[in-house]
Structure 1
């Protein structure tokens, strides 16, 4: 009996030791970059957060202890994104050999073939993919069939590995819902164009109840691709795009319009209230409801939107979920929101100027004409754009360089009129020294047509103007200091 107990104790201690020593090793061979960014799952769930940046050691290696208690996906970024499905107590080694151009990636560890298939999975930006489908064919049934075919092709390797018992049920379930959510995001986005053309006013000659009901049915058909209420989706990064599209276009806009209860938000705060209320009203199942409410608040905090409604969302959340695992990730950002709100009544600095009658500027030609007789560096940004505000960290060095070269700095916001107050407060909060204008709706459409790529105008975006002409339509960001300065100097 003592022998059996001793054997059991030794087995337990051995397992515990292995679990403590389990690690994820990331290796780069022949690479010049020394930084790897990664994001851990939160108790098995994908919860959008700022990527952790770490430096490779002298051998090009980074070791991360595997302390996970439940299975979940890590995201690694080294020139591109890689996913790794990590299980408790297991060790993995991800190697990128930059000299091997044909097959640079190798993975050692459990379910190796599945891990390679997952890490090599690459998705086109869902809005660009939706635009491509819509341009080729505007019929929903045709796009659904084509997307289903692509989905099946993408999922086929995982089905085969699962059938061969090379990946288990948990791995396959994750891969399946990851892929399904991506294609559901694409298909739901294709509905954006027909919805924009609808007339919901029953007194209008353009009102077509049959067409509205048909599009309503399309939203129900999305469940065949991926069920928006499937709690397994919390483990995947693709659910964020799918739920954002579904909640924004169907629950917040289409359904209220169809029911005759839609109210156009008067400003950004009212819009965010409407988005938050969609989650409260339509998601009753836990833990999905808690997850989506926390994700909504956290995304607003990461984007540094700083709306006055955010502290109220936070108070409501912690009251409903006093022991939520998400609260520690939300709390630090709330203090920054409160600090921002104190700046609303402050005066503008002397070097924060506004283009006279900027609302009358409606074309890119009129915008570029502002640079006649001088050189102007333009920063396109918006109050809702997190990466735009990250680049503001480098404004001091940028301003010094531009001043030394006689280049003026202009900030062009693409915010809507409803965000006017927020826009002006952010100018003060981030101490944006230079000339400012907020693009009118006509100017924004003109900017979009001039600078979009695959029907997407991504910001932050930087251009250089000289004497009324566009010299550099795609300048580097301020964070790439030396490369940007060298790029600009060739036009001086």
Structure 2
């Protein structure tokens, strides 16, 4: 009898241990054509690097605060929802990163939802026809898009109530952002349409001395780079811009870089221009983001590139970046 009681006690201990939720996440998976030898799971307060084996497999445990994290493989990334107790298995092919990523295991439903939502958001952004609609048709289409996002959310099983409420707010925020983006596009396509007189800048400080105004540059095409020293994507374009300036030296085009650094970072701007040996016309805007030229062009993110013709008229308020082959195609069409 004592042996039986002892045996039952052991069984109860084992069962209770199995039922007790884990206080960590098990994260594993396989990446086809991996971009890096490691993946990184990161938030503002958390970072964990996980080794990726030669065959693309990886596995580790993470102790987390419940919430959304960024999952990086090299420069590619996606959002991932983690909660202690999850046993999540990730599968993806980097050749179609967003389209291929999928999840199995405990916690798969919420993460497959996030992957599907991200694809829908990308489809909205890539739908040029949406932003060409007249306002009534655009509003109707946005109602349909919002309903589509809500349907995806409400039909996904095993979602936390707090997560659902946050997602509803996120859907509202996304649709408002798209509406603002539509309004900006309409402004660019009307007030900043091709052939319209370009907004001007006057007496911007020139790194080489004195001041420069847009009118001083008439007679040549002007390719304007709106940037700042703190902007990583801006700095990433610098090598391509240098190559472009070298390739078009002596041609009918002037390359102008307008820094919108704040006044307190003026010396930082001068040092970077000197250290990086930046070429072209290097100017410092008179009032950072609030400079009239910047606000007239509705610059809300940088780098931003603008192309102006020799008469001072707009060619495009959103020119391709130096790193894009589309820019050279545009220059060829203009016979620069």
Same structural fold, with TM-score higher than 0.5 when normalized by the shorter chain: yes
Instruction: Tell me, yes or no, if the aligned pair for 2:149 and 2:171 is still in contact at 8 Å.
Output: no
C-alpha separation in 2, matches of 1:53 and 1:405? 41
Distance 1:38 1:148, change over 3 A: farther
Q: Paired residue for 2:294?
A: 444
Does residue 412 in structure 1 map to residue 258 in structure 2? Answer: yes
- 1:155-304 maps to which residues of 2 (within 5 A)? 155-161=150-156, 166-168=157-159, 170=160, 172-184=161-173, 186-187=175-176
Residues 78, 98 of structure 2: 8 Å contact kept: no
Structure with more helix by fraction = 1
Q: 1:23 aligns with which of 23, 26, 43?
A: 26
Please give the TM-score of this superposition, normalised by the length of structure 2: 0.57
CA contact (8 A) 1:36 1:55 kept: yes
Aligned length: 289
1:101 is displaced (CA, Å) by 10
For 1:399-456, what per-residue CA distance to the aligned partner results, in whole angstroms no more than 9, with x for missing partners? 99689879698532245xxx3343443433674533421346454367x3xxxxxx77
Q: Which residue of 2 aligns with 1:107?
A: 103
Alpha-carbon spacing, 1:106–1:433, altered in 2? closer, same or farther (3 Å): same
Inter-CA distance 149–4: structure 2 relative to 1 (3 Å threshold): farther
SS of aligned partner of 2:62? coil
What TM-score does the superposition give when structure 1 sets the normalisation length?
0.42
Is 1:71 the counterpart of 2:66? The answer is yes
Residue segments in structure 1 that go unaligned for 5+ positions in a row? 42-46, 195-351, 449-454
Secondary structure of the 2:106 match is: coil
Deviation at 1:187, TM superposition (A): 2.8
Change (3 A) 1:127 1:109: closer
Note the C-alpha offset of 1:59: 1.4
Contact 2:70 2:80 in 1 (8 A): yes
Residues 157 and 398 of structure 1: CA distance in aligned 2, closer, same or farther (over 3 Å): closer
Query: How has the CA–CA distance of structure 1 residues 39 and 456 changed in structure 2, closer, same or farther, with 3 Å as cutoff?
Result: farther
1:107-132: CA deviations, max 9, x gaps? 21125344322212122599999x95
Equivalent of residue 361 in structure 1, options 214, 224, 227: 214
The Cα of 1:381 is off from its aligned counterpart by: 0.5
Q: Does 1:60 align with 2:56?
A: yes
Cα distance in 2, alignment partners of residues 184 and 151 from structure 1:
11
Write the mapping of 1:340-489 to structure 2, written as runs, cut at 5 A: 353-354=207-208, 356-358=210-212, 360-361=213-214, 367=217, 379-382=225-228, 385=231, 387-388=233-234, 391=236, 411-414=257-260, 419-428=262-271, 431-434=275-278, 435-439=281-285, 441-444=291-294, 448=297, 458-461=301-304, 473-477=319-323
SS in 2 for 1:184: helix
Determine the C-alpha separation between the residues in 2 that align with 1:403 and 1:40.
Answer: 38
Cα offsets for 1:364-402 (capped at 9, x unmatched): xx657578xxxx98643136645435x38xx6x779968
Q: Are the aligned partners of 2:258 and 2:282 in contact in 1 as well (CA < 8 Å)?
A: yes
Q: 1:402 & 1:192 partners in 2: Cα distance? A: 30
More strand by share: 2
Larger radius of gyration: 2
Encode CA deviations 1:216-235: one digit per residue, 9 max, x unaligned: xxxxxxxxxxxxxxxxxxxx
User: Aligned partners of 1:191, 1:405: CA distance in 2, in Å?
Assistant: 38
**Offset at 1:94?**
1.6
Mapped to 2, the partners of 1:35 and 1:459 lie a distance apart of 31
Deviation at 1:70, TM superposition (A): 4.0
- Give the counterpart of 1:119 among 115, 120, 127: 115
Cα separation, 2, equivalents of 1:405 and 1:103 = 37
Q: Unaligned regions of 5+ residues in structure 2, if any? A: 184-205
Contact 2:30 2:91 survives alignment (8 Å) = yes
2:218 and 2:71 map into 1 onto residues whose CA distance is: 40
- How many angstroms does 1:361 deviate by? 2.1
1:126-182 CA-partner distances (Å, limit 9, x unpaired):
9999x95996149xxx95x87565333212233223xxxx314x1x53144224224
SS of corresponding position for 1:187:
helix
